[in-house]
Amino acid sequence: MTALFQELAGLWRMRTLLRALTWREVHARYQGSAAGVAWAYVQPLLTVAAYYLVFDVVFGMRLAQGAPTGRVGTYLIVGSLPWMAFCDAVGRGTSSMLDAGSLLQKNALPPALFPLRTVAASALVYGPLLLLLVLAYAPLHRFAPALVAAVPLLALMGLVTALLAWLLAIMAAALRDVVQAVGFVLAIGIFLSPVLFPMALFPVAWRWVLWCNPMTPVILGLQSLLLQGAWPATAVWLALLAWIAVLACVLSLLVARSREQLVDWL
């Protein structure tokens, strides 16, 4: 764990640079295009609109008994926006060190800056969307006080995403295939989470698979928060903390093992 804390201390000293890099990343994603950063919002908003229109308006589908809410579209939107943010951050974060290879080989910078700035940039882009989500669902439960739990929940989601992106970036620097593998896992990961269907619909014997997905506790928490106005279950918080602990340990190991050679691999 010491390796991880040393890296974090170094990064804290470079926080102004991190801020500059994040801004640069946000601008660079859409630099040269006319609509600029608006493009970042088009896909999530269109997806949300499509879910609402197709499932709630056209099909009028309803979920079975025991589900947090009646309407399918409403249910889908709560899970898919955070999942889209997660995929964006982790997907870009995994290849961030490789993309910044030439920069790292010519400047003395800690490699960890790059996955973290990618996650921060994604957070800057998706943050307003998630906030909008919370505010849009708030009236459903007359602005219940439990909504304040959204803040720590989203903060912990950010932490898990950052640790995972950093870890995967180091692995991708060692073996390029990791980028492809992560893309694949993210594509099917949505089926191994409560985004598309409530946990209750999943066979009991296989529910542990869902807990292997770091976003499962986040989505469960958001669903109970926004669809039922209830404070997220203890299991959610425990699972999140467990994920953070596991990721931190593995990350510390990888950081210590790769510190000397990482830039040489890029």
Partner 1 sequence: MLRVAELGKEYRLYASPRERFRALFTRRALHRSHWALNGVSFELRRGQCLGVIGDNGAGKSTLLKLLTGTIQPSTGSVWHAGRVTAILELGAGFHPEFSGRDNLYFGGSLIGIGHEEMARLEPGIAEFSELGEALQRPVKTYSSGMTVRLAFALVTAVQPDVLIIDEALAVGDQHFQKKCVERIMAFRENGCTILFCSHSFYHVRRLCDSTLWLRDGELAMQGATEQVVSAYEVYARSRDVSAEALEQPIEVPAANAGAFTPRLGARIVAMSIDETDDADPPLLLGGNLRVRVTARLEGSDEVPQVLVMLEQFQGHGIATDSTRADGARPQRLPNGDWQVVLTYPDLPLHSGEYVLSAYLFDAAGVVVYDEWYQHARFRYVNPQLTPGLVRLPHYWGER
- Judged by the rule CB under 8 A, the positions of this chain that interact with partner 1 are 16-17, 20-21, 24, 27-28, 31-32, 102-109, 170-171, 174-178, 253-254, 257-261, 263-265
| CA–CA distance, 230 with 237 (Å, rounded to integer) | 14
Give least dist CB 39 to partner 1, A: 15
For residues 10 and 152, which CB has a smaller minimum distance to partner 1 in the complex?
10
- CB closer to partner 1 out of 33 and 43: 33
Contact 167, 254 (CB under 8 A): yes
- Distance in angstroms (rounded) separating the CA atoms of residues 253 and 2: 9
Residue 8 CA to residue 14 CA, distance in Å, equals 10
Min CB(130)–partner 1 separation in Å = 28
- Looking at residue 188, the DSSP 8-state letter turns out to be H
Supply the Cα-derived Rg of the chain in whole angstroms.
19
Task: Please report how close the Cβ of residue 59 comes to partner 1 at its closest, in angstroms.
Answer: 43
The one-character DSSP state at 69 is: -
Residue 216 or 258 with smaller CB distance to partner 1: 258
Nearest approach in angstroms of CB 257 to partner 1 is: 5
Structure tokens at 37: 């950063």
17 or 144: whose CB is closer to partner 1?
A: 17
Give whichever of 160 and 178 is closer to partner 1, judged by the CB atom. 178
Question: How many Å from the N-terminal Cα to the C-terminal Cα in the chain?
Answer: 24
Q: How far is the CB of 261 from partner 1 (least distance, A)?
A: 6
State the minimum distance, in angstroms, from the CB of residue 99 to partner 1: 12
Which residues are bridge partners to 71 per DSSP? 62
CA 53, distance to chain mean position in Å, is 25
Select 100 or 156, whichever has its Cβ closest to partner 1: 100
**Spatial separation of the C-alpha atoms in residues 141 and 145, rounded to whole Å:** 10
CB of 265 to partner 1, least distance (A): 7
Q: Where are the alpha helices (DSSP H) in the chain?
A: 2-13, 15-29, 38-51, 72-94, 96-99, 101-106, 113-137, 150-174, 177-189, 207-211, 215-228, 234-258, 262-265
Q: Which is nearer to partner 1, 115 or 232 (CB)?
A: 115
